[in-house]
Amino acid sequence: MSTARDKRQRQIAVTGAIGHEHFMAGVRMLYACRYRDAVNHFQEAIMLEPQAKGYLSYLGLAVAHADRKYSDAEQLCRRSIEVEYHRPEHYHNLGEVFLLANRTADAIKAFNQALSWNPNYEAANDTLRKLGVRKPPVVPVLPRSHPINVMLGKALRGGKKRRGGRRTGTRYP
């Protein structure tokens, strides 16, 4: 025996699953640079799941790419951040919107906010690295190349190797 309440809960579950499928399709379209298709999928996902405010930042990024409406895109990302402020991907999407709008300083702030929630968030780290942003030296009053900064930096990095760094040759006796 299924009651009306059970039927309604099943409908909501199915609608949510379809909404999530549209969201995932939108993400795939976004990464495939099919921005207009991504906008359509994200809009459909939001219509099916209006309570899923996290979808808004992805819609904002797609709108920025597809329509070049940076102000609208920024507002969508910010609405998503208001609800899910602890999700670094929303700050990253906002940063990408800022980069598209040639607002590099704001983009760097957004990427750093993403890293404040998750210091290992690779997308933000990679983007900052591509922009040429580096962490400040360990001892700011000394130049970056000072041996103290170099040694402390290596020690704090925990032995991680730099990507594309200097080659280490073999030592000759």
Each residue of 27-66: pLDDT tens digit?
A: 999 999 999 999 999 999 999 888 888 899 999 999 999 9
Residue 163 pLDDT exceeds 60: no
Q: Give the global pTM.
A: 0.74
pLDDT of amino acid 149: 85
**Cβ proximity of 70 and 93 under 8 Å:** no
pLDDT of amino acid 140: 85
pLDDT of amino acid 17: 76
**Cβ proximity of 100 and 64 under 8 Å:** yes
- C-alpha pair distances (Å), 19 with each of 51, 54, 65: 11, 12, 22
Each residue of 71-83: pLDDT tens digit?
A: 999 999 999 999 9
Q: What residue segments make up the domains of the chain, in order of their start?
A: 79-160
Each residue of 87-128: pLDDT tens digit?
A: 999 999 999 999 999 999 999 999 999 999 998 999 999 999
pLDDT of amino acid 169: 40
pLDDT confidence bin for 156, thresholds 50/70/90: confident
**For residues 89-103, b (16+ Cβ closer than 10 Å) or e, as one string?**
bbbbbbbbbbbebeb
Each residue of 1-16: pLDDT tens digit?
A: 567 666 656 665 556 6
Percent composition of the chain: helix, strand, coil (DSSP 3-state, to 5)? 70, 0, 30
pLDDT of amino acid 7: 62
| CATH of the domain spanning 79-160 | 1.25.40
